[in-house]
């Protein structure tokens, strides 16, 4: 971590960058917030540990409007989002100095699932310790690092950064699950089971918009669900229809653009597995139109702004059973 | 708030017999914003239209719903009527209660209920309509004709005679097309070349016509009145300006074993060649696939013998870009390939030939100098069998489902010519039907039968079997006499189906013109707009639109020319106002809309935006309304809803949905 | 002091629901929230904090106000029926009970919100002590005792038995309905448990948070502080903090077109949203910093100014747990403490 | 519960592109080829104009089935519109199916201006399918059901 701070300081001092976008430490190990640092002094609060799950790419939209370059730390999976935003002209590559920072899997405090946590030891150095030591008001306990990881890290896209100016730190591919297994499991259900499953998940939705607002693909200046232009403004899920409407349309709007960064599922206060929507589209796109990874590059045509003459017909949905 | 008038048409009894029009009027008056509703027997009549005008004047209507026939029928009529009464024409919506309601439903209550719902949807839409103004675009006063056959030549001459510039793009080395390969023409039996070549010369000499032979259309952009076309002028390796057309190069060329396309491969030509003697321009091209100089680097005979110094091996393809106001497609046809018709022994026996090959055999400039002889042994045939409908009117996928239209007549022509010139040669024709509609056509066919003794047999040929003695055994049926026929023949001629040139699909795609399942270009309306493509500014001439003979082709060519002249005579065109429009406050500048625009109508610019007090430079989409055709692909791609389509806006369509579902 | 065995709770709930609608923490798809009870409900009293606070019971996230219908050209207006049947809110924690007090001061002061008032009148609050307070809790800061919640009935779970203590007339009436299921309990047992709870509360990292400088005067002294500009930066402008908050009470009123008419409904709004209090001329808060500041000054300055110094935060810590960017009211309070302004 | 086909009259929204399918519907009309009055047609310039939101909105407001008709692939008046529509609808329908919405409630058919018979047959079979599925309960807004 100190190397990251030192490098950031030297880039700030040399004037190559005007500010640093990273993570700031808070009250506890897991209390980590995305933050801009404008000086070497401020960087004393910089932190990089296992709880730095937040994808900083989206903050680069605002940073691109500022004078000078912004040094941004991107984990391998964050770089896909950055590329996608570049492709859509939402961030300016020239305004970013990207340090591709190593990542060995990020943690979710809810997964540690212990009341009264005071401290989590081992979160900073996943390599050194495969076991997290958790100190709580009600006694200490141990949790394996893997079991505390974010869902997305179990289906890690790999340790390569898609875009960077320099790289620091080691990465590890933490995938240990089939990315589409959950989707396939639902697909195999009967319509009644599918309906019941999503009904119970979506009925929890409080329409806080955290999934939307954190999503790098949901970068609209004004979302259709906030806009009166489309007759679609909604502030609450008054009926179960509105829960579905919001999540279907949100997933559709990011279809072919979603990099599967998993931020939506990370931030949902109700723990709704929102990635199941996006990943369904990704699975369909891969199966029907050929493998596609949004954000792997900045110039390919997205699957929904492209076509083949011999694309399958929509009736494939019925024929698939 | 709109003040809406609803006008329910009886269409005589077409609507009123099934829909209770009075009830629809009554229901309309309950709708929000509807201040006037009435019914009338014929809304589209003068009297009906003046009722609309009167209501607009009296009630101060701001929007109109006409419940009548399909908008495809009378939307324009009612829009004009509204405009005459001082209302913006785009404040009119049609509820289609005839085609979509009264004509398909029998139960009056049910049809009335549906008509009411359709009326409500139209009223809901009109509430959100906004006056639209058609834009204007300039017209480039120059036309492009793709294809230099008789269709293209005639169209070009007619346009040029009206005083407009025309370019002909022909992919082969000479204009003339299929007709130049024909020997005689039915039903007059005049020589094809004698009537075609003067036309070719006229086109070549016309001050308003520029001919690009050995050239192909590479790229088309733009829209009616303003097309930009890239034309690839393929390298001839012969300088057109210097060549005198003396022909010495062709005589001296050592590479002489190349199948002669003009003679359908029945004889050979040299590597440097002009396709036929009367070619225009009379300038040869070098076939680089056959030329020894190009293949080995050694030879150069043509360069040495050319007195004019016209040979230039270093010539390159050249791309020229031209602007046109109108484009005419005249890409013509070819005969289908007979690979799948093994039963006729085509390809197995040299004496089984297609009718087009027979044209070349009969032609004095053809491979046999016009002598009717077997291509296998040069003997004069004594028994000739013609087989009709080879690949035409075919129900399986080997051939074409349509009638090729010209075969009955040219077969009668061939039969008659042979019987006339070689009276001791017997001619038998197997046919399914003899189709001879047309001026002097049936008389012509009857002359073949009655005066020339051609033997017509109604029935199909199952098989042609080459015999060891070189003759052909034809197995067929006579449907009238209900018997099998085995006939020995010296020559079999196949009336092969015709199909549009294979290039047409590529060209249609470039022009965004639609094509039918048989690759014929689709007309804007099969009856009323037969020479226009649905794509504005693109016109159809000749067989590319459907099978036709020479007089029909020439007639259509002239008709297409008149449409082009009508277009070019205008200085400006009114553009469709139902185009996409981007709300720059909502636009993310993400470029997704531009990716799906088929017309390249969307560009981006960075401009200072004042978004409720936040002032910043933003990249926003800008729609060129002259290029936009209003498909709406962009509107769905836009996640924020910034892109919307005038006349079919998100809210308008949603209002219709709501009205239908309520 | 009465009690009932934990294993008999199902019978208790069944009995309560004979005469009252019963709402209590129910686990659905892995998360616990207040929901209506039925035999199949997975009742969860162990989870300390429901994701959403129980304020829905009195102030639902979305509620219809009245319906306009148009038929045959005639328009009719039907107001939504006010709550008339009693209901029991069971298992509500000390902080959330206090939060109802916060809401009361808004909705029950003039002009009285009749929809809210009807629910308050018919709602019976059975609170439940916090036996295992968590890191993010800081109710003590606001004078709330996690060991002794307010409410019509207060309950504790000690050694597999639920202790039941009716505090109000409403509570006594409810107790009468179920009296035969309860046995007498020893208050001393509860007192021992309370002492244990209070000992843990003392150890919570935020129990000694200082509220110095907050209150009505903060509206003047802290409005223009440069600290806000730093604090708000990571804010995603989502509504998580406001929607999980037990005291946030802002709502929007909207119309829904049902096809045959219009339903006028209200739903929670969030001051974090860019279209919050949107008016014809635009929005009076144009930046996220302003919106962020509004939320915290409302909790810590504007509300106290109008309510005798009472803060409209109860220290439940939901925002501390749920903010996607780890921003929260504790950080705000501490940031100003650090700056000393 | 068995569905009474006599009683259940579904609401069907048919989006038809102006150039092919709307004309196909006109031809069905002028050829007097009947199909149930349950079908109500909305004219759009091209199948690519149909936003998934329109389809969800129809279900929200009480539609029991939604069908989208456009030019045959390759024949789009705007040359490429239906190709985009095809991908969009494939994904949308797949998502609805994934959420447990009966997949028979949505359909895409390519109907040319010459296919009046196909239009009528398509509508007959679609209405029959939706009738067999019964009223749409999984994707409607309760406020609109009264």
Contact with chain D for residue B662, Cβ under 8 A:
yes
Nearest residue on chain B to A305, alpha-carbon basis: B596
Q: Quote the pLDDT of residue A55.
A: 96
CA–CA min distance C171, chain B (Å): 47
CA distance D54 to C107: 39
Q: Quote the pLDDT of residue A127.
A: 65
CA distance A27 to B68: 72
Q: Do the Cβ atoms of B640 and A90 come within 8 Å?
A: no
Q: Which residues of B touch C283 (CB under 8 A)?
A: 612
**Do the domain assignments include residue A261?**
yes
Q: Quote the pLDDT of residue B629.
A: 87
Q: Quote the pLDDT of residue A321.
A: 55
State yes or no: pLDDT of D4 exceeds 70: no
Residues B542 and B633 in one domain: no
Residues A244 and A96 in one domain: no
Q: What is the mean pLDDT of residues B251-273?
A: 95
Q: Quote the pLDDT of residue A128.
A: 56
Nearest residue on chain A to B636, alpha-carbon basis: A253
State yes or no: pLDDT of B26 exceeds 90: yes
State yes or no: pLDDT of A277 exceeds 50: yes
Nearest residue on chain D to A245, alpha-carbon basis: D56
Q: Which residues of A touch B585 (CB under 8 A)?
A: 221-222
Residues A193 and A286 in one domain: yes
Query: How many domains does the structure of chain B reveal?
Result: 5
Q: Quote the pLDDT of residue D3.
A: 45
Q: What is the mean pLDDT of residues A206-223?
A: 95
Residues A80 and A216 in one domain: no
**Residues D90-100 pLDDT 10s:** 999 999 999 99
Confidence of residue B509 (pLDDT cuts 50, 70, 90): confident
Residues A165 and A235 in one domain: no
Q: Distances from the Cα of A2 to the Cαs of A7, A9, A26, B212, C29, in angstroms? A: 8, 10, 17, 72, 41
Substitution target in B129, B631, B639, B652 with the highest count of D β-carbons within 10 Å is: B631
Q: What is the CATH number of the domain that holds B119?
A: 3.40.50
Q: Do the Cβ atoms of D80 and B633 come within 8 Å?
A: yes
**Do the domain assignments include residue A171?**
yes
Nearest residue on chain A to D87, alpha-carbon basis: A304
Q: Which residues of B touch D11 (CB under 8 A)?
A: 660-661
Q: Do the Cβ atoms of D37 and B110 come within 8 Å?
A: yes
CA–CA min distance D14, chain B (Å): 10
Q: Quote the pLDDT of residue B535.
A: 78
A-facing residues of D in 71-130 (CB < 8 A) are 73-74, 80, 83-84, 86-104, 106-108
Enumerate domains of chain D plus CATH numbers.
Answer: 12-144 (3.40.50)
Q: Quote the pLDDT of residue B103.
A: 96
**Do the domain assignments include residue B258?**
yes
What's the helix, strand, coil split of chain C in %, to 5?
Answer: 35, 25, 40
Q: What is the CATH number of the domain that holds B468?
A: 3.50.50.60
Residues B160 and B45 in one domain: no
Q: Do the Cβ atoms of D46 and B633 come within 8 Å?
A: yes
Question: Cα D109 from chain centroid?
Answer: 8
DSSP B243-263: -----HHHHH-S---EE-TTT
From A221, A224, A231, residue closest to B651, measured CB to CB: A231
Residues B484 and B557 in one domain: no
Backbone angles phi, psi at C249, to 5 degrees: -130, 15
CA–CA min distance C50, chain A (Å): 10
From A189, A238, A317, residue closest to D94, measured CB to CB: A317
State yes or no: pLDDT of B466 exceeds 70: yes
**Do the domain assignments include residue B442?**
yes
Contact with chain D for residue A245, Cβ under 8 A:
yes
Contact with chain D for residue B519, Cβ under 8 A:
no
Nearest residue on chain B to D86, alpha-carbon basis: B633
**Do the domain assignments include residue B15?**
yes
Residues A166 and A185 in one domain: no
**Residues A77-111 pLDDT 10s:** 999 999 999 999 999 999 999 999 999 999 999 99
State yes or no: pLDDT of A129 exceeds 70: no
ipTM computed for the complex: 0.94
State yes or no: pLDDT of B527 exceeds 80: no
Contact with chain C for residue B439, Cβ under 8 A:
no
Helix (H) or strand (E) holding B226: strand B226-233
Residues B408 and B421 in one domain: yes
DSSP C196-214: HHHHHHHHSTTTT---TT-
Supply the range of the domain harboring residue B543.
146-224+324-332+513-568
**Residues B544-553 pLDDT 10s:** 999 999 999 9
**Residues B409-438 pLDDT 10s:** 999 999 999 999 999 999 999 999 999 999
Q: pLDDT over 90 for what percent of chain B? A: 88
State yes or no: pLDDT of A320 exceeds 80: no
Residues A16 and A155 in one domain: yes
Q: Which residues of C touch D141 (CB under 8 A)?
A: 258
Contact with chain B for residue A224, Cβ under 8 A:
yes
Q: Do the Cβ atoms of B613 and C72 come within 8 Å?
A: no
Q: What is the CATH number of the domain that holds B639?
A: 3.30.70.3270
**β-pair partners for B238:** B311
Q: In B524-661, which ranges are continuous DSSP H helix?
A: 550-568, 592-596, 633-637, 650-661
Q: Do the Cβ atoms of B641 and A227 come within 8 Å?
A: yes
**Do the domain assignments include residue A120?**
no
Tens-of-pLDDT digits for all 341 residues of chain C? 999 999 999 999 999 999 999 999 999 999 999 999 999 999 999 999 999 999 999 999 999 999 999 887 788 999 999 999 999 999 999 999 999 999 999 999 999 999 999 999 999 999 999 999 999 999 999 999 999 999 999 999 999 999 999 999 999 999 999 999 999 999 999 999 999 999 999 999 999 999 999 999 999 999 999 999 999 999 999 999 999 999 999 999 999 988 888 999 999 999 999 889 888 887 889 899 999 999 999 999 999 999 999 999 999 999 999 999 999 999 999 999 887 66
State yes or no: pLDDT of B514 exceeds 80: no
Q: What is the mean pLDDT of residues B551-576?
A: 95
**Do the domain assignments include residue A141?**
no
From B585, B592, B654, residue closest to A231, measured CB to CB: B654
Q: What is the mean pLDDT of residues B616-623?
A: 95
CA–CA min distance D74, chain A (Å): 8
**Do the domain assignments include residue A287?**
yes
Q: Which residues of B touch A62 (CB under 8 A)?
A: none
Count of residues for chain A? 321
Q: What is the mean pLDDT of residues B507-516?
A: 80
Confidence of residue D1 (pLDDT cuts 50, 70, 90): very low
Residues B218 and B345 in one domain: no
Angle of the B150-161 helix axis to the B192-205 helix axis, nearest 10: 40
Q: Do the Cβ atoms of D40 and B114 come within 8 Å?
A: yes
Residues B11 and B111 in one domain: yes
Backbone angles phi, psi at A284, to 5 degrees: -65, -45
Strands (E), B479-584: 483-489, 491-496, 498-500, 538-540, 572-575, 580-582
* Chains within contact range of chain D (3+ C-beta pairs < 8 Å): A, B, C
CA–CA min distance D2, chain A (Å): 17
CA–CA min distance B662, chain C (Å): 4
State yes or no: pLDDT of B512 exceeds 80: no
**Do the domain assignments include residue B487?**
yes
Query: How many domains does the structure of chain A reveal?
Result: 2
Q: Do the Cβ atoms of C239 and A210 come within 8 Å?
A: yes
Q: Do the Cβ atoms of C259 and B658 come within 8 Å?
A: yes
Q: Which residues of D touch C258 (CB under 8 A)?
A: 141, 143-144, 146
**Do the domain assignments include residue A126?**
no
Averaged pLDDT score across all residues of chain C: 95
Residues B18 and B162 in one domain: no
Q: Quote the pLDDT of residue D6.
A: 61
Residues A95 and A186 in one domain: no
Residues B412 and B464 in one domain: yes
**Do the domain assignments include residue A131?**
no
**Do the domain assignments include residue A239?**
yes
The sign of the torsion formed by the CA atoms of D77, D79, D83, D85 equals negative
Backbone angles phi, psi at B572, to 5 degrees: -135, 155
**Residues B304-341 pLDDT 10s:** 999 999 999 999 999 999 999 999 999 999 999 999 99
D-facing residues of A in 250-279 (CB < 8 A) are 251-252, 255, 277
**Residues D33-61 pLDDT 10s:** 999 999 999 999 999 999 999 999 999 99
Contact by Cβ (8 Å): B431, B388: yes
Q: Quote the pLDDT of residue B443.
A: 95
CA distance B31 to D52: 28
CA distance B579 to B572: 18
**Residues C255-303 pLDDT 10s:** 998 888 899 999 999 999 988 988 888 788 989 999 999 999 999 999 9
**Residues B370-399 pLDDT 10s:** 999 999 999 999 999 999 999 999 988 899
Q: Quote the pLDDT of residue B9.
A: 97
CA–CA min distance B31, chain D (Å): 18
Supply the range of the domain harboring residue A276.
180-321
Taking residue A18's Cβ as centre, other Cβ atoms within 10 Å add up to 18
Q: Quote the pLDDT of residue D2.
A: 43
Residues B541 and B560 in one domain: yes
Interface A-D, measured as beta-carbon pairs within 8 A, has a size of: 116
**Residues A45-84 pLDDT 10s:** 999 999 999 999 999 999 999 999 999 999 999 999 999 9
Residues B441 and B458 in one domain: yes
Residues B85 and B36 in one domain: yes
pTM: 0.80
Residues B399 and B518 in one domain: no
């Amino acid at each position: 971590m100190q190397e990251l701070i030192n490098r950031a300081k030297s880039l700030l001092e040399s004037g190559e960058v005007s500010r640093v976008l990273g993570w700031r430490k808070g009250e506890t190990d897991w209390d980590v917030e995305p933050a801009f640092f404008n000086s070497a002094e401020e960087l004393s609060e910089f932190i990089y540990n296992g709880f730095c799950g937040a994808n900083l790419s989206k903050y680069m939209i605002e940073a691109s409007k500022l004078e000078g370059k912004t040094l941004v730390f991107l984990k391998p999976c964050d770089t896909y989002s950055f590329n996608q935003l570049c492709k859509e002209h939402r961030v300016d590559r020239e305004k970013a100095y990207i340090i591709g920072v190593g990542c060995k899997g990020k943690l979710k405090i809810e997964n540690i699932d212990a009341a009264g946590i005071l401290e989590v030891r081992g979160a900073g150095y996943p390599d050194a310790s495969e076991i997290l030591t958790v100190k709580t008001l009600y006694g200490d306990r141990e949790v394996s690092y893997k079991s505390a990881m974010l869902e997305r890290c179990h289906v890690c896209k790999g340790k390569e950064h898609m875009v960077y100016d320099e790289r620091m730190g080691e990465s590890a591919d933490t995938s240990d699950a089939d990315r589409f297994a959950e989707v396939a499991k639902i697909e195999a259900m009967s319509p009644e089971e599918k309906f019941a499953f999503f009904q119970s998940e979506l009925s929890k939705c409080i329409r806080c918009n955290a999934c939307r607002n954190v999503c790098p693909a949901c970068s609209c200046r004004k979302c259709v669900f906030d806009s009166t232009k489309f007759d679609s403004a909604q502030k609450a899920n008054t009926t179960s229809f509105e829960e579905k409407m919001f999540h279907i349309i949100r997933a559709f709007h990011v279809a072919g653009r979603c990099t599967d960064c998993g931020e939506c599922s990370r931030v949902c206060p109700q723990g709704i597995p929102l990635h199941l929507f996006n990943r369904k589209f990704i699975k369909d796109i891969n199966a029907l139109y050929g493998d596609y990874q949004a954000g792997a590059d900045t110039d390919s045509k997205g699957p929904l702004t492209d076509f083949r003459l011999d694309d399958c017909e929509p009736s494939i949905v019925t024929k698939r059973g | 708030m709109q003040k809406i008038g609803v006008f329910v048409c009886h269409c005589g009894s077409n609507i009123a017999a099934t829909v209770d029009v009075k009830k629809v009027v009554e229901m309309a008056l309950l709708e929000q914003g509807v201040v006037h509703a009435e019914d009338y027997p014929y809304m589209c009549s003068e009297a009906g239209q003046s009722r609309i005008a009167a209501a607009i004047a009296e009630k101060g209507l701001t929007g109109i719903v006409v419940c009548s026939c399909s908008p495809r029928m009378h939307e324009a009529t009612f829009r004009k009527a509204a405009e005459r009464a001082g209302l913006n024409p785009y404040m009119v919506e049609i509820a289609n209660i005839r085609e979509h309601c009264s004509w398909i439903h029998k139960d009056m209550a049910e049809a009335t209920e549906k008509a009411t719902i359709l009326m409500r949807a139209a009223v809901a839409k009109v509430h959100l309509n906004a006056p639209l103004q058609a834009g204007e675009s300039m017209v480039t006063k120059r036309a492009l004709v793709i294809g230099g056959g008789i269709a293209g030549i005639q169209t070009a001459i007619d346009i040029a005679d009206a005083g407009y510039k025309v370019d002909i793009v022909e992919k082969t080395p000479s204009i003339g097309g299929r007709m130049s390969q024909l020997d005689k023409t039915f039903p007059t039996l005049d020589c094809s070349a004698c009537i075609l070549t003067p036309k070719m010369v006229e086109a070549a000499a016309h001050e308003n016509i520029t001919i690009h032979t050995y050239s192909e259309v590479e790229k088309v952009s733009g829209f009616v009145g303003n097309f930009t076309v890239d034309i690839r002028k393929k390298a001839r390796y012969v300088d057109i300006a210097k060549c005198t057309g003396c022909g010495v190069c062709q005589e001296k060329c050592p590479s002489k074993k190349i199948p002669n396309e003009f003679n359908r491969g029945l004889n050979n030509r040299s590597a440097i060649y002009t396709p036929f003697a009367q070619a225009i321009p009379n300038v040869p091209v070098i076939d680089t696939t056959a030329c020894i100089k190009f293949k080995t680097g050694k030879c150069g005979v043509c360069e040495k013998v050319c007195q004019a110094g016209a040979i230039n091996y270093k010539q390159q393809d050249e791309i020229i870009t031209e602007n046109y106001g109108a484009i005419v497609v005249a890409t013509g046809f070819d005969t289908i390939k007979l690979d799948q018709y093994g039963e006729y022994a085509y390809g197995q026996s040299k004496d089984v030939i297609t009718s087009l090959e027979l044209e070349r055999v009969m032609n004095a400039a053809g491979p046999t100098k016009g002598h009717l002889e077997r291509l296998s042994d040069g003997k004069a045939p004594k028994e000739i069998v013609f087989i009709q409908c080879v690949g035409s009117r075919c129900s399986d996928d080997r051939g074409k489902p349509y009638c090729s239209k010209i075969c009955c007549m040219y077969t009668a022509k061939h039969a008659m010519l042979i019987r006339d010139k070689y009276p001791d040669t017997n001619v038998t024709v197997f046919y399914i039907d003899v189709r001879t509609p047309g001026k002097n056509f049936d008389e012509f066919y009857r002359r073949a039968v009655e005066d020339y003794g051609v033997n017509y047999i109604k029935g199909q040929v199952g098989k042609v079997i080459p015999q060891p003695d070189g003759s052909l055994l034809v197995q067929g049926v006579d449907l009238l006499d209900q018997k099998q026929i085995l006939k020995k023949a010296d020559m079999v001629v196949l009336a092969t189906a015709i199909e549009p040139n294979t290039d047409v699909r590529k060209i249609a795609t470039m022009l965004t013109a639609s094509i039918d399942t048989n690759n014929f270009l689709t007309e804007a309306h099969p009856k009323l707009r037969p020479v226009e493509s649905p794509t504005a500014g693109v016109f159809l001439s000749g067989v590319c639109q459907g099978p036709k003979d020479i007089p029909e082709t020439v007639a259509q060519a002239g008709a297409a020319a008149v449409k082009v002249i009508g277009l070019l005579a205008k200085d400006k065109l009114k553009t469709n106002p139902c185009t996409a429009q981007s709300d720059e406050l909502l636009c993310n500048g993400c470029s997704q809309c531009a990716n799906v625009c088929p017309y390249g109508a969307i560009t981006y610019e960075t401009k200072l935006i004042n978004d409720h007090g936040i002032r910043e430079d933003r990249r926003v989409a800008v729609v060129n309304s002259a290029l936009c055709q209003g498909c709406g692909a962009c509107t769905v791609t836009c996640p924020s809803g910034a892109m919307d389509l005038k006349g079919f806006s998100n809210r308008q369509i949603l209002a219709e949905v709501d009205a239908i579902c309520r | 002091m009465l009690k009932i065995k934990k294993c008999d709770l199902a019978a208790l709930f069944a009995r309560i629901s004979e005469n009252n609608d019963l709402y209590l923490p129910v686990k659905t798809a892995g998360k616990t929230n207040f929901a209506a009870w039925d035999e199949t409900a997975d009742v969860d009293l162990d989870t300390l904090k429901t994701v959403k606070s129980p304020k829905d019971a009195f102030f639902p996230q979305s509620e219809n106000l009245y319906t306009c219908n148009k038929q045959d050209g005639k328009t009719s207006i039907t107001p939504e029926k006010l709550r008339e049947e009693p209901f029991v809110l069971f298992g509500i924690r000390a902080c959330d009970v206090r939060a109802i007090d916060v809401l009361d001061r808004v909705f029950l002061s003039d002009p009285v919100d009749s929809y809210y008032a009807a629910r308050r009148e018919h709602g019976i609050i059975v609170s439940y002590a916090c036996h295992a307070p968590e890191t993010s809790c800081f109710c003590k800061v606001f004078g709330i005792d996690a060991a002794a919640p307010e409410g019509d009935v207060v309950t504790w779970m000690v050694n597999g038995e639920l202790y039941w203590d009716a505090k109000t007339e409403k509570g006594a009436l409810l107790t009468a309905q179920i009296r035969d299921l309860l046995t007498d309990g020893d208050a001393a047992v509860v007192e021992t448990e309370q002492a244990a709870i209070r000992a843990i509360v003392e150890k919570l990292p935020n129990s000694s948070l200082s509220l110095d400088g907050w209150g009505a005067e903060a509206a003047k002294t802290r409005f223009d502080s440069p600290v806000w500009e730093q604090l708000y930066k990571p804010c995603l402008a989502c509504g998580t903090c406001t929607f999980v908050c037990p005291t946030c009470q802002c709502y929007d009123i909207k119309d829904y077109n049902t096809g045959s008419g219009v339903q006028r409904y209200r739903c929670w709004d969030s001051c974090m949203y860019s279209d919050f209090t949107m008016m014809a001329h635009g929005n009076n808060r144009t930046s996220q910093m302003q919106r962020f500041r509004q939320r915290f000054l409302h909790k810590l300055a504007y509300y106290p100014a109008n309510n005798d110094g009472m803060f409209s935060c109860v220290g439940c810590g939901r925002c501390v747990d749920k903010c996607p960017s780890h921003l929260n009211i504790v950080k705000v309070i501490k940031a100003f403490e650090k700056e000393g302004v | 519960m068995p569905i009474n086909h006599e009683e259940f009259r579904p609401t069907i929204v048919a989006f038809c592109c102006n150039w092919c399918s709307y004309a196909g519907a006109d031809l069905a009309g002028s050829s007097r080829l009947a199909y149930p009055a349950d079908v109500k047609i909305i004219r759009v310039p091209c199948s690519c104009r149909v936003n998934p939101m329109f389809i969800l909105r129809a279900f929200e407001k009480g539609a029991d089935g939604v069908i989208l008709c456009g030019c045959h692939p390759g024949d789009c008046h705007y040359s490429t519109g239906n190709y985009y529509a095809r991908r969009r609808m494939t994904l949308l329908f797949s998502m609805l199916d994934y959420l447990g919405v009966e997949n028979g409630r949505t359909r895409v058919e390519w109907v040319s201006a010459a296919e009046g018979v196909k239009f009528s047959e398509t509508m007959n079979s679609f209405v029959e399918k939706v009738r067999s599925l019964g009223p749409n309960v999984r994707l409607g807004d309760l406020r609109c059901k009264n």
